[in-house]
Amino acid sequence: MRQLFLPVLLSGSLLPTLTFAQAPAPAAPHHARHSRMGTIVGHVELADGQSADHISVMVRGTTQGTTPDAAGNFSLEAPTGWQVLTFTGLGYSAQENTVEVFANRSTTAPTLKMERGNRQLDEVTVTGTSVINRPATASKSDIAPLDLPQSIGVVTSTIITDQQINRLGDALRNVSGVSLTQQRGGVAETFSARGYSIGVAGSGGSIFKNGLLSNTQGFPDASTLESVEVLKGAAALLYGNVSGGLIINTVTKKPRYNWGGSVEMRTGSYGLYKPIIDLYGPLTKNLAFRVVGTYENAKSYRDVVTSKRLYVNPSLMYKFGEKTDLLVQGDYLRSDITPDAGVGIINQNVDARLPDGITRSNFINATWAYNVTDQASASAVLNHRFSDQWRINAIAGIMDTRVHGLGVAVPNGNIALNGDWGRSLSGVQTAERDYNAQLNLNGKFETGPLTHQLLVGADALRIVTNNASSYAYYGLNGSPVTSKTTNGISYNYDIINISDRSKYVERTDGITYNVTGYTVSPSYRFGGYVQDLITIVPMLKVLGGVRYSYQNVLQTTSTNTLNGVETLGAAADKADRAWSPKGALIFQPLPTLSFYTSYANNFITNAGLLDTNLQPLRPSYVNQYEAGVKAELFGSRLFANAAVYRYRNSNLAQTTFTLADGSATTLTTVRDLTGETTSDGVDLDVSGSFSKDFYFNVGYAYNFARYTHTTGVVGTQIEGERLTNNPANTANGSVFYTFDRAGLRGLKVGASAFYTGQRLGGNNNAVLDPITLQPTLANGAANPRYVPYYSRTISLTGFTTIDLSVGYAYSHFSILAKLSNITNSLNYLVHDRYSINPVPPRQFLTTVAYRF
């Protein structure tokens, strides 16, 4: 957002108070709101050689502003005529440049060198947060937020710090309409927005790190991030096969060319302690570094559950000159978490419901269960600016994720009506390696009266997974584990009752395992895209673009480790090709107000399915229509965005038992693209900061995602039923204030509230075989297949959590405390049919920090 964040140093060191003076009106003439626009490009140098990406450049008397890149280069639009540029930044003397701007032309401002300041600035605009209305890096271009026909949410480092956020799910609560809908086995998070969810990892994922697809097994550590960006709606133009609801891009902290850092200790309820270290500085004039690291050790409100996590993120930045820089980053995560499938679902496939008589702490996995993730990644980003109008960006990265663990299988619909559950062992040993590459060219140019902001790019992704597919289990004495059946309940470990834990004597002895088979699954993705934002006149712009995607999932290879025999998978290589267009019209009657309407689509690969000709099923396409309004008010101190949308998948894959030639088939993988889902909704975000001491953000979203057409064939969904894991209403609000009066100076207070509305958990219902609906057979005998109740969904009520924060800062020291979920609200996150996890209860968290 374009709210200007410029905490100001009045001397060479940070002072506890700031003094402000409103500058007189600029000498340059005012311009009518329909004045033609031009472009100002320039370069800023800092006398001490540090990165210039925290300097603010503003056109005085307007809301036009920008922030240079790390090398100090900037570009921004401005009204025609003589304009005054103001340059301000933390600890530097404010400076000005005067330039003449010409319509539809680029003007180069004189290079400016900023010195450390020791006097009061002539003019400053300060907010209490780093929520700046600037372009999100996930957009791959420098399109200004008011020009981008898409809803974007950014959770900044200020919010992450003030709310003491540890997990990605806690950060995303601050973006309207984005919900943490699932916790997969307690070791990963899944999110939804606008009726569509995102995967955890691999080719189906929609979570990125610094623009590259990321595997989020083991949880990203949000406390070490600079920001979290959310692009709502279709991002297929830029990223290919991703969710239609949202993509998430986590942005790590980058090196700086001045010495600094922090040391923190975070402690909290259930034995949490978490030291965090952040160090940065220059190694040479052109080379800077940063190292961020944290260790986390905690128990849980869930019985037995513990977590131990180590995360290290080193990075280097080298400047080859004013126009070229290279950023090299790496990170390593070791996550040792107790797998936790929650409290279970009773009778999931017939009359699904939560078990009675359970507590929030009820843990049903084995007491010795474990899940260990080792994840390492490395990436390099090369930026080069050919001129003030043209730049290129090249990214390459690799991520390696390895998981090993053991416990009992999730209660996948096999918990009886009385709560009895036969626990069977389940191991996990997976390896995934992701290779990413991306190239983006951005340019600005004119063709006659039209101004173009062009993006041309290409990306490639290779994913190779090597997953264990079969195991042999042994007791600690070396004896093989065998399967058993007692009273109709099958198991190979023991039987428990999830509602009455005293009913059976539960086993606690550990188990070991060997992998007896593994499967290798390679896949490739390639894409090329072009996008152009065309300014027809300053108040009217159009955006158009298209992407071509090619995705190839190769035939799997399975190996039996006992005899070395290799077997090819039943499914042959599958290649999907898709075009992803996007078009939008942007109308800006005022420089601070923008209306837009857009069309885009995304595609869903139907992996593992066949069409009625017994060929691999082609992708389904989702058409997306959106209209919205964006506004910057009060000198960019307030930013608001509202959008309405409709998404329609008119070729949803539906079960069919009839082939194209009219013959019948019993294959369960045959589908026909005849179904339909529709998702309608609205979301609203407002954020602002009217002084250096105060900021807030609020959001609201409504979504109605449902099946609007089904064929009625046995196994297809119920027409009109809402899609699971999509709350009808969500809302969020957060406000923080820091006192600056004598006697209270340095005291900070804050409050946050998050609402998740009514939603369906479990699996969507399906059409039943008519025989199961008859209580008796034709001969009058009882029908053994009769289903008296049938509901695979669980209706969950809405809930609200409220957090209160208070802190104090003096000189380099600070302390911040938070009481979360102060009303101790109880509700559940439901993953499909098994991972029923209670939300955390009331908890205490505090962070003590020293910054230097």
What is the model's pTM? Answer: 0.84
| Ordered DSSP codes for 332-397 | EEEEEE----BT--BTTTTB-BPPSS--TT---S-TT-EEEEEEEEEEEEEEEESSSSEEEEEEEE
Is position 758 within any domain? yes
Please tell me the predicted confidence (pLDDT) of residue 49: 63
Using DSSP, state whether 36 is helix, strand or coil. Answer: coil
Burial class (CB in 10 A: 0-12, 13-18, 19+), 448: exposed
Q: Can you say whether the dihedral through the CA atoms of 151, 156, 162, 168 is positive or negative?
A: positive
Burial class (CB in 10 A: 0-12, 13-18, 19+), 626: buried
Count helices and strands in the chain by DSSP H and E runs:
3, 48
With pLDDT > 70 as the criterion, what percentage of the chain qualifies? Answer: 90
User: Same domain, yes or no, for 97 and 157?
Assistant: no
Please tell me the predicted confidence (pLDDT) of residue 84: 83
Is position 420 within any domain? no
pLDDT at residue 748 tops 50? yes
Nearby residues of 155 by Cβ (< 8 Å), 6 or more positions away:
165, 171, 172, 174, 175, 227, 228, 229, 230
256-289 residue pLDDT tens: 988 999 999 999 999 999 999 999 999 999 999 9
Strands 370-385, 324-337: pairing is antiparallel
303-360 residue pLDDT tens: 999 999 999 999 999 999 889 999 999 999 999 999 988 888 888 778 888 888 788 9
pLDDT at residue 546 tops 90? yes
Strand partners, 424: none
Using DSSP, state whether 143 is helix, strand or coil. Answer: coil
Which tokens sit at 547?
């992407």
Backbone angles phi, psi at 470, to 5 degrees: -150, 150
User: Same domain, yes or no, for 149 and 49?
Assistant: no
Q: Which of 79-93, 391-405, 507-521 shows the lowest per-residue confidence on average (mean pLDDT)?
A: 79-93
367: left (phi over 0), alpha (psi -120 to 50) or beta: alpha
Is position 451 within any domain? no
Domain-ending residue, one of 209, 233, 252:
252
User: Same domain, yes or no, for 437 and 560?
Assistant: yes
Please tell me the predicted confidence (pLDDT) of residue 633: 85
Q: Which one-letter amino acid corresponds to residue 119?
A: R
Is position 419 within any domain? no
User: Same domain, yes or no, for 484 and 619?
Assistant: yes
Q: Which one-letter amino acid corresponds to residue 65?
A: G
∠ CA 770-672-525 to the nearest 5 degrees? 135
Whichever domain contains 1, its CATH number is: 2.60.40.1120
Q: Give me the number of domains the chain comprises.
A: 3
Is position 145 within any domain? yes
Domain-ending residue, one of 135, 167, 192:
135
Backbone angles phi, psi at 151, to 5 degrees: -80, 135
Site of tokens 């983006």: 440
Which tokens sit at 153?
């949410």
Answer for the pair 830, 836: CB distance below 8 angstroms, yes or no: yes
Is position 214 within any domain? yes
Q: Which one-letter amino acid corresponds to residue 455?
A: L
Is position 129 within any domain? yes
Closest CA to 725 of 676, 656, 795: 795
Answer for the pair 586, 599: CB distance below 8 angstroms, yes or no: no
479-504 residue pLDDT tens: 999 999 998 899 999 999 998 999 99
381-408 residue pLDDT tens: 999 999 889 999 999 999 999 999 999 9
User: Same domain, yes or no, for 409 and 556?
Assistant: yes
pLDDT (mean) for 506-513? 94
Whichever domain contains 186, its CATH number is: 2.170.130.10
Backbone angles phi, psi at 802, to 5 degrees: -125, 130
pLDDT (mean) for 599-623? 90
200: confidence class by pLDDT, cuts 50, 70, 90: low
Rg (CA), the chain: 28
User: Same domain, yes or no, for 247 and 267?
Assistant: no
Domain-ending residue, one of 252, 282, 298:
252
* Residue 598 vs residues 585, 587, 617: alpha-carbon distances, Å: 6, 12, 29
- Tell me the longest C-alpha to C-alpha distance in the chain: 98
Element (H, E) at 207: strand 207-209
User: Same domain, yes or no, for 170 and 298?
Assistant: no
Give the residue with greater pLDDT, 572 vs 452: 452
Q: Which domain holds residue 317?
A: 260-414+425-446+457-579+587-851
pLDDT at residue 143 tops 50? yes
d(CA 554, CA 551): 10
Q: Which of 2-6, 292-296, 441-445, 662-666 shows the lowest per-residue confidence on average (mean pLDDT)?
A: 2-6
Is position 452 within any domain? no
Answer for the pair 151, 685: CB distance below 8 angstroms, yes or no: yes
| Ordered DSSP codes for 724-769 | TT--SEEEEEEEEEE--STTTTTEEEEEEEEEE--EEEE---BPPP
Nearby residues of 458 by Cβ (< 8 Å), 6 or more positions away:
438, 439, 526, 527, 528, 529
Give the residue with greater pLDDT, 127 vs 112: 112
User: Same domain, yes or no, for 212 and 322?
Assistant: no
- Give the CA-trace dihedral at 720, 722, 723, 727, to 10 degrees: 160
Please tell me the predicted confidence (pLDDT) of residue 2: 38
DSSP letter at 4 equals -
Whichever domain contains 282, its CATH number is: 2.40.170.20
User: Same domain, yes or no, for 342 and 233?
Assistant: no
User: Same domain, yes or no, for 223 and 366?
Assistant: no
User: Same domain, yes or no, for 60 and 181?
Assistant: no
User: Same domain, yes or no, for 116 and 187?
Assistant: no
